[in-house]
């Protein structure tokens, strides 16, 4: 029988190792900074986080989103089509690997940061809320992993867009943090190009997912709408939240109403600035969809012309 062999399915052990490895990849940008405090500190100085495996401060929320969401997407993509016969055990094992590594990183970070804070420090609530936020992000990462591994094509397409929204700005923030350490000495034009490339990652990834999804049957167009809205609105919301957290007082102190009043304007600007990304994803998806449809049609025609053995 002609045809390429099917990829070898993952066992539960393989899924566990895959999830753990993906989590380590997600942590890699932060590890390469030498576990140092974020380069751009908020007006209120954050607690000492040197040596912590995760920067559990609200100012680093975008970086945390990238660290936690990217591994789920990596594991889910690598598992897709390779869970046959495992009854979903490989996907659940991969989730266990994610939780084991990232949950351990949260515990280690709390053990490092909390003893450095006074009991009445307003930053204690910041650290606690950031740890809870990582837990929520880890649940979302596990959902993305399962949907990409075993979900329908439209659902997986939306999952890619959601992961890209979180991972894109997170990778950009990681690049900023890496500049004074791992990237020191690179020409400025190279660094600028890297930032531009990383900034375009969410739109390109979403566009590729849309091309893979296609538009037939017609109900798959719903996945296009949801994915593009998620890319546009979700990215704007995440960037606005980062700006607000940058200027806001620690959670344990009174909120600054003036800063909160700036949120609607910042969100509107982010939505306007994010339109080109949504258009880029739409164009990449449309052009790529035409190419994918042509390739699939050619494969069907070649299969029809192969003589029976």
**Residue 74 or 183, more confident:** 74
pLDDT in tens, 159-183: 999 998 887 776 776 676 666 655 6
Rg (CA), the chain: 21
pLDDT of 254: 46
Q: How far apart are the first and last CA of the chain?
A: 7
pLDDT of 261: 63
pLDDT of residue 10 exceeding 60: yes
Q: For 140-179, give the secondary structure using H, E and C.
A: HHHHHHHHHHHCCHHHHHHHHHHHHHHHHHHHHHHHHHHC
Contacts of 201 (CB under 8 A, 6+ apart): 164, 167, 168, 171
CA distance 253 to 243: 18
Q: What is the mean pLDDT of residues 101-107?
A: 94
What pTM did the predictor assign? 0.80
| 125, two tokens | 């609530």
pLDDT of 22: 93
pLDDT in tens, 111-165: 988 888 887 777 788 888 889 989 999 999 999 999 999 889 999 999 999 998 8
CA dihedral 73, 77, 80, 86 (to 10 degrees): -60
Judge contact between 147 and 155, C-beta under 8 A: yes
Weakest-pLDDT range from 21-25, 93-97, 194-198: 194-198
pLDDT in tens, 243-258: 776 555 544 444 444 4
Q: Which residue, 73, 75, 29, is CA-closest to 55?
A: 29
CA distance 123 to 57: 8
Q: Which residue, 103, 140, 136, 142, is CA-closest to 15?
A: 142
């Amino acid at each position: 029988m002609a045809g390429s062999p099917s990829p070898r399915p993952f066992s539960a052990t393989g899924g566990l190792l895959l999830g753990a490895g993906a989590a380590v990849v997600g942590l890699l940008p932060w590890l390469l900074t030498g576990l140092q405090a974020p380069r751009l500190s908020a007006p209120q100085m954050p607690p000492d986080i040197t040596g912590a495996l995760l920067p559990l401060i609200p100012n680093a929320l975008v970086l945390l989103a990238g660290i936690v969401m990217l591994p789920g997407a990596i594991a889910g993509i690598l598992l897709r089509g390779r869970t046959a016969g495992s009854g979903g055990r490989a996907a659940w094992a991969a989730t266990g690997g994610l939780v084991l590594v990232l949950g351990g990183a949260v515990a280690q970070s709390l053990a490092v940061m909390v003893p450095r804070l006074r009991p009445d420090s307003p930053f204690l609530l910041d650290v606690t809320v950031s740890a809870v936020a990582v837990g929520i992000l880890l649940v979302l990462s596990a959902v993305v992993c399962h949907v990409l591994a075993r979900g329908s094509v439209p659902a997986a397409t939306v999952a890619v867009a959601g992961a890209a929204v979180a991972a894109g700005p997170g990778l950009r923030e990681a690049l900023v943090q890496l500049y004074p350490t791992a990237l020191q000495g690179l020409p400025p034009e190279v660094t600028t190009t890297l930032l531009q490339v990383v900034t375009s990652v969410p739109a390109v990834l979403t566009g590729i997912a849309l091309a893979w999804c296609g538009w037939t049957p017609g109900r798959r167009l719903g996945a296009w709408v949801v994915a593009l809205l998620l890319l546009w609105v979700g990215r704007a919301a995440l960037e606005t939240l980062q700006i607000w957290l940058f200027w806001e007082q620690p959670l344990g102190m009174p909120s600054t109403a003036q800063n909160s009043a700036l949120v609607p304007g910042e969100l509107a600007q982010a939505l306007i600035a994010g339109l080109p990304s949504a258009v880029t994803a739409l164009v990449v998806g449309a052009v790529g969809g035409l190419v994918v449809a042509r390739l699939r049609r050619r494969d069907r025609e070649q299969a029809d012309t192969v003589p029976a053995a």
